[in-house]
Chains A and B, each alone.
Chain A
Amino acid sequence: MSSDRDRPLKPIDFLILIALEPQDRHGYGVLLDVEVLSGGTVRLDPGNLYRSLRGLMRRGFVERLDRRPAPESEDERRRYYRLSADGRRVAADEAHRMNELLRLAPVRRLIAEPTS
């Protein structure tokens, strides 16, 4: 595995991978889902979305599909993107890593213990 693929994911990359997890999406779908996932705090613009997408594709985490009609876009054809097996694994690793980190936080009283 090349060194590129070992590097940790940037938050935006991670959010995009998560957005693609349940289903294939086109660009606008990713954009909307990232906004929903982040609770409205991350608002992507076309420029940075496609820079990230292109990087993820080059690293083999995301696959590009053919164009097909997009129901939300008045059935115009759109390019769809799909999470690859590698991508799914990297995202899972990242989630795991963050989960580990998160568990450490309450120990040092950085944040409160989850109430649930």
Chain B
Amino acid sequence: MSRGERLYRRLLKLYPSSFRAEVGDDMVELVRDCLRGVRRTGNRRALVRFWTGCLRGVLVGAIGEWLAIAREAFTGRPGYSNQRSDRIGDSMLTTLKLDLRFALRTMRRQLGATGASVLSLSLGIGALGALFGLADAVLLRPLPFPEPDRLVALWNRYDGGPTSLSPPDFVDRLARPDVLQRGAAYEFTRSLTFERGGDSRRARAARVTSAFFDTLGVPPALGLVRFPDETGGEPDHQIVLSHAFWQRELAGREDVLGQTIRIEGLPLVVTAVMPPSFAFPSDAELWVPLAFSPSQLADANRGNENLRMVARLVPGVTIEQARAAMDAVASSVIERVPERSAYLASNGWGSVTRSLKEEIVGDVRPALWSLVAAGVMVLSVIILNTANLLIAGIGARGRELAVRRSLGATRIRLVRQLLTESGVLAVLGGVGGLWIASAGLRVALPLVPHQVPRLDEVAPDARMVLFVLVVALGSGLLFGTAPAWRGAAGRLVGGRTIGSRGADRMRRALVVAEVALALVLLIGTGLLVRTHGHLATTELGFETEGRWLSRISLPRGEFSSREARQGFAQELVVALEQRPEVAAVGLADRMPLDGEVWTSTFHVEGRVARPGEKALGASLMAVSEGFFETLGVRFAAGGPMPMTEVHNGRRLAVIDEDTAERLWPGDAAVGKRIAFESDAPPEKMYEIVGVVEPVRQVSLRDAAPMQIYLSNDQLGVRDLAILVRGFQGRAVDLAGVVRHEVQALVPGLPVYRVEAVEQVITSALALPRFHAALLGGFAAVALLLAAIGLYGVLSHAVVQRTGEVGLRMAFGASRSKILGMMLREGLGLTMVGLVVGWSISLPTTRLLNSLLAGVEAADPATYLGYGALLAGVAFLACMIPARRAARLDPSSALRAE
């Protein structure tokens, strides 16, 4: 079947199915014959004529057939080819055709104004459509798993915040098959090294227990997942690949199953490849089995909380029931495990059960919805502005309309014709908006910070198209109805049009609303800009400039012993310090503000916890001696942990000032000792040798909890962040230096995620910046439109009052007096808009509360400052027409009447 025939077959869908069944096939055959005939003539214009004819025939015919069916249902008589009603259908069509032709002609005459309206509508509708597409894909649509509503995320909880599970916690929860049909534990993804063609490369891998894929309900695209039972002790050597990894690293080869990949030195057999849509946890590219030995499952291991858990509810079980059951599991642990019960009970230990969707998208919900709300506000301003322009345009045609009315046109008839014009605007705006929404979504998606989840699922789709069309038509009704009704009200009395006073009042109201909405957007933007500024200037506790960060991960085989890792760290530091380009070098297990935080409880020497007293908890970091100097972390007392002393077996620690103040208020912390086990013998205690200024560890918003630094020379961690600082004013490839020295020690060891430390801060700020920038763009558009609205209304007023101005001048009013009079009119409107805007802002900005930092939602400076900005812009917009009024020549102004 040719393309033309397929197109025609699609057009035939417009007909009632009974009609199609009877003659549809014959019609398609006829089209085939016609196309052949046209092609024989080889005339392109004939082809165009044929298709326009076809289109018209189908449209008119389909409407006619549907009307016939409706009539038949209504009157019980066969309705085909009933001439009388054909005439009714024809007359409706004819009127519409007339209105359309007239509307297009009018719009062509005002091409500039029409173009501006269509463009602003397209932008507003498109921006809102794209934001809806984003919010819909991320927030509204179900997760891409079968029956996603039955999936839950399970956590422990200490005093409110969700925390990871220990292996016994996981097994406890699985022991409720009445609630949880299946469940699986998994770890945070880790960056692993694998070998390919002699190259070492890196990929993100997650360790998951046997029921992981079954719980999510996604079977592999290739092969079978047969991970061993999670309580089976040592996991065996299988690996499951993501579709992307398979394509990228193994060229999508069909014979991948059964092949061996060496990961971290271990040979793993590929048993399955997941489908392209599967991404959970979101950054995982590889999945390897996770299983627990009996000792890991023992009560003694309950403190080792590093698992996440996902489970599928038994059909019919609600999330509340699951929550109750999981809470019961947690309380039974407190009763059953006496050695931990006091600790758990005093720390508000419990369980957290929430839907997987909430888990994944809950954090970004307020940000995304506030953007959609801002999009709605901008579109509202655009609608108000368009209505304003329409009223002005219709006002200019007031005489024509009044004449038509006096000649007998009904008001409805005129309204209908004016509505056709705004309908055409809406349709054009909708089409443009559709294009902007889908193109914008595609173009802007890479700019959305990666902290927003599910971005891979965002794409323009039918829901977005439907949304855009509904919004466009709704907008058309909103901006079209009132102007049309008002515009058609004029009548001709004594050769002059009357009835245009209402239109002026309406335009003023519209401008007030525009100013108010623009102010709300400006204030929202202002609050977010303040938040961004606050976060960007937060005292980090460390320096970023000129520091470079590289990461490595020591492979298991060669570096399975702690001594080997300690040795490597030591050699690397020495090698880097000898390089002339390097001013300072430090190692740490992670970079502050990046990656997962390692936390632990601890005890203070000589201090016995009273019953019911909360255990002390701190986040820990393993750092080298040079870490503090390299990052520019300042010491308040003492100094770093010397490598030589640590190698001599001394256990040392550094804490921050906040921690020192909490533990030993008013007393020197240096020299005190802490331990990570209760009743630790003195040789297992850590002596505090330094106190540093607090460092933002987790987020820019909140200060860290208590912070303890331990020596990596003692701990020898596997994943290392290498920090280097160069000399000022010298541009050197420090990253290259680090890579060179690392690979001189371990040939081929990949150095990954190399970045300037400033970059870490930039990505921590990405979401607030994105949010503020988008809202700022919206606010700018709204401000501009409000100014245009004010300008238009005032210009109109100047024209209308020309005679009055001339009279006043003739009676001695000075030019400045006239200027003031006109300005007062415009600024009066602005003031009303500001007051309305402020009162809308108060409840609206409260919705932003969870997104703000360092500024109150009702911040008076922001409210007044942006009000002043808006008033200033309004003043400029009013000044132009007001000066025009003041410059009028009194004698010609008098004659203007």
Instruction: Show the binding face of A for B, using Cβ within 8 Å.
Output: 4, 7, 10, 13, 26-28, 31-32, 43, 45-55, 58-59, 72-73, 76, 78-79
Contacts and interface: CB of A to CB of B under 8 A. Distances in A.
Given A4-B78, A54-B80, A58-B80, A46 B31 contact: yes
17 contacts: A4-B78, A7-B83, A26-B33, A27-B30, A28-B30, A28-B33, A45-B53, A46-B30, A46-B54, A50-B26, A50-B27, A53-B23, A54-B22, A58-B81, A72-B33, A73-B36, A78-B33
Given A48-B57, A48-B60, A27 B78 contact: no
B34 interface: yes
A32 B37 CA distance: 10
B22 A79 contact: no
Nearest to B24: A50
Contact of B33 (A45, A51, A73): A73
B87 to A, nearest CB: 11
Contacts of B64: 51
Contact of B29 (A7, A51, A58, A78): A78
A58 B78 contact: yes
A7 B23 CA distance: 24
B61 A27 contact: no
A interface SS class: helix
Contacts of A52: 81
**Is chain B's interface secondary structure helix, strand, loop, or mixed overall?**
helix
Nearest to B15: A47
* CB-based closest 10 A-B pairs: A47-B57, A28-B33, A45-B57, A55-B81, A27-B30, A47-B61, A45-B53, A47-B58, A50-B23, A46-B30
B8 interface: yes
Contact of A54 (B23, B32, B60): B23
Contacts of A54: 19, 22-23, 80
A54 B20 CA distance: 11
B65 interface: yes
Nearest to A73: B33
Given A73-B32, A73-B33, 5 more contacts: A27-B29, A28-B37, A32-B37, A45-B50, A79-B26
Contacts, number: 75
A79 B50 CA distance: 22
A53 B62 CA distance: 15
B56 interface: yes
Interface string B857-869: 0000000000000
A43 B83 contact: no
Nearest to A81: B26
Contact of B34 (A13, A28, A51): A28
Nearest to B64: A51
Contacts of B33: 26-28, 72-73, 78
Interface in B749-793: none
A35 B65 CA distance: 24
B29 A48 contact: no
A84 B56 CA distance: 30
Contacts of B36: 73
Residue of A26, A47, A73, A79 ringed by the most chain B CB atoms within 10 A: A47
A1 B53 CA distance: 36
Contacts of B58: 47
A13 B53 CA distance: 18
B53 A43 contact: yes
Interface string B678-707: 000000000000000000000000000000
Contact of A51 (B53, B61, B83): B61
A37 B359 CA distance: 74
Contact of A10 (B61, B78, B80, B83): B83
B80 A55 contact: yes
Contacts of B29: 26-27, 76, 78-79
Nearest to B19: A54
A49 B56 CA distance: 12
Contacts of A13: 81
Contacts of A72: 33
Contacts of A4: 78
A50 to B, nearest CB: 5
A79 B33 CA distance: 12
Given A4-B78, A58-B78, A49 B30 contact: yes
Contacts of B56: 45, 47
Contact of A46 (B8, B37, B81): B8
Nearest to A52: B81
B80 A48 contact: no
B27 A47 contact: yes
B80 A46 contact: no
Contacts of A31: 30, 34
A13 to B, nearest CB: 8
B34 A46 contact: yes
A4 B36 CA distance: 37
A86 to B, nearest CB: 15
Given A4-B78, A28-B37, A47 B54 contact: yes
Contacts of B8: 46
A63 B146 CA distance: 55
Contacts of B78: 4, 58
A11 to B, nearest CB: 12
Residue in A45, A55, A59, A78 whose Cβ sees the most chain B Cβ within 10 Å: A45
Contacts of A55: 80-81
A8 to B, nearest CB: 8
Contacts of B57: 45-48
Given A45-B56, A46-B8, A47-B54, A27 B37 contact: no
A7 B53 CA distance: 28
Interface string B67-84: 000000000001011010
Interface string B356-377: 0000000000000000000000
Interface string B1-17: 00000001000000000
A26 B26 CA distance: 9
Contacts of A50: 23, 26-27, 30, 61
B22 to A, nearest CB: 6
Contacts of B83: 7, 10
A25 B872 CA distance: 78
Contacts of B65: 51
B26, B36, B57, B58: which has the most chain A beta carbons within 10 Å?
Answer: B26
Contacts of A53: 23
Contacts of B54: 45-47
Contacts of B27: 27, 46-47, 50
Interface centre among B27, B29, B32, B80 (most CB of A within 10 A): B29
